[in-house]
Amino acid sequence: MIILKSPREINIMRKANQIVAKTHEYLKNLIEPGISTAEINKKGDEFIREHGAEPSFKGYRGFPASICVSINDEVVHGIPNSQRILQEGDIVSLDIGTFYKGFNGDAARTFAVGKISKEAQKLLKVTREALDKGIKKALHKNHLSDISHAIQSHVEKNNFSVVREYVGHGIGTDMHEAPQIPNFGSPGHGPVLKEGMTLAIEPMVNVGDFKVKTLDDNWTVVTEDGSLSAHFEHTIAITKKGPKILSKI
């Protein structure tokens, strides 16, 4: 069942997501060659708590850190580690979740570490654009898969692939609520979107094949072919006036 939120609840979710957005802005400035992923996690954890929220990923199904930090061919769920040091030319995806006054915030961004290759630049641009195109279809009375289709079309037009095994999701008092939001599919299917739905839309895009696997740490998801992967995510609310991006400053 898809839980509709009242304007009051959406307002609280906006605050939860504003803390996520501010944490991204703060961490963006710390990303440079030489910093460890554990340090990024520590700074992010402190920032979230200083702003009155809890890092919702911490302990979620046993996840051992507050922020997912995924480098290069790592797609999602990278575990921060003091031995993992960012290098010039890397791309790094940060996925950040907050819990604030009973509601969740969730957004992800992929950043460049110093100067990155042309291909990596294109990957970041196309993934960000795919998210924007998906959000533009998040309209009252559209079908859910209109979002999925817009994302997949843009990614494949640019000769990249969308990950199939991980998907976007409804969000609210629970971090993961119905519906699941695949980043692929034909338009016109799935539930009809309605004012009051709150969705985390999150394309994960690979330079090579869409296939992924999970490492022995049971968390880190990597591309099977070792190609680069990017991840952009926003939490939005459906309104009759169009999608409202809650995790954008």
Instruction: Give the distance, in angstroms, between the CA of residue 51 and the centroid of all CA atoms in the same chain.
Output: 20
Sole window of 71-79, 106-114, 143-151, 205-213 interacting with Mg ion (rule: CB under 5 A): 106-114
Neighbouring-strand partners of residue 208: none
Is 16 near Mg ion (CB under 5 A)? Answer: no
Of the candidate spans 51-59, 61-69, 134-142, 199-207, the one that interacts with Mg ion by CB under 5 A turns out to be: 199-207
Q: Which stretch binds Mg ion (CB under 5 A): 2-10, 104-112, 152-160, 216-224?
A: 104-112
Site string for Mg ion, 71-100 (x = CB under 5 A): ------------------------------
The correct pick among 106, 120, 198, 231 for binding Mg ion (CB under 5 A) is 106
The reply to whether omega before 179 is within 30° of 0 (cis) is: yes
Selected range binding Mg ion among 67-75, 102-110, 141-149, 212-220, rule: CB under 5 A: 102-110
Residue 9, interface with Mg ion (CB under 5 A)? no
CB of 201 to Mg ion, least distance (A): 9
Q: What share of the chain is helix, strand, coil (3-state, %, to 5)?
A: 30, 30, 45
Which CA distances in Å does 236 have to 149, 163, 182, 218, 223? 18, 21, 16, 29, 27
Question: Any contact of residue 199 with Mg ion (CB under 5 A)?
Answer: no
Give me the sign of the Cα torsion angle 43, 132, 147, 173.
positive
The residue (of 2 and 35) whose beta carbon lies closer to Mg ion is 2
Cα angle value 26/212/146 (rounded, 5°): 75
User: Does 144 participate in binding Mg ion (rule CB under 5 A)?
Assistant: no
Total number of residues that touch Mg ion (CB under 5 A): 2
Which single residue is written with the structure tokens 């710390």?
30
Query: Which of 142, 146, 61, 58 is CA-nearest to residue 95?
Result: 58
Q: Is 132 exposed, middle or buried (0-12, 13-18, 19+ CB in 10 A)?
A: middle
Stretch of residues binding Mg ion (CB under 5 A), selected from 59-67, 140-148, 195-203, 212-220: 195-203
Which parts of 26-65 interact with Mg ion (CB under 5 A)? none
Nearer to Mg ion, 90 or 106 (CB): 106
Question: Which of 141, 128, 105 minimizes the C-alpha distance to 241?
Answer: 141
Q: Which residue lies nearer to Mg ion by CB, 200 or 246? A: 200
| 8 Å CB contact between 199 and 139 | no
Question: Which of 21, 48, 200, 221 touches Mg ion by CB under 5 A?
Answer: 200
The residue among 186 and 214 lying less far from Mg ion, judged by its C-beta, is 214
Structure tokens given for 143: 């079908």
- Nearer to Mg ion by Cβ, of 160 and 166: the residue is 166
Name the residues that contact Mg ion, by CB under 5 A: 106, 200
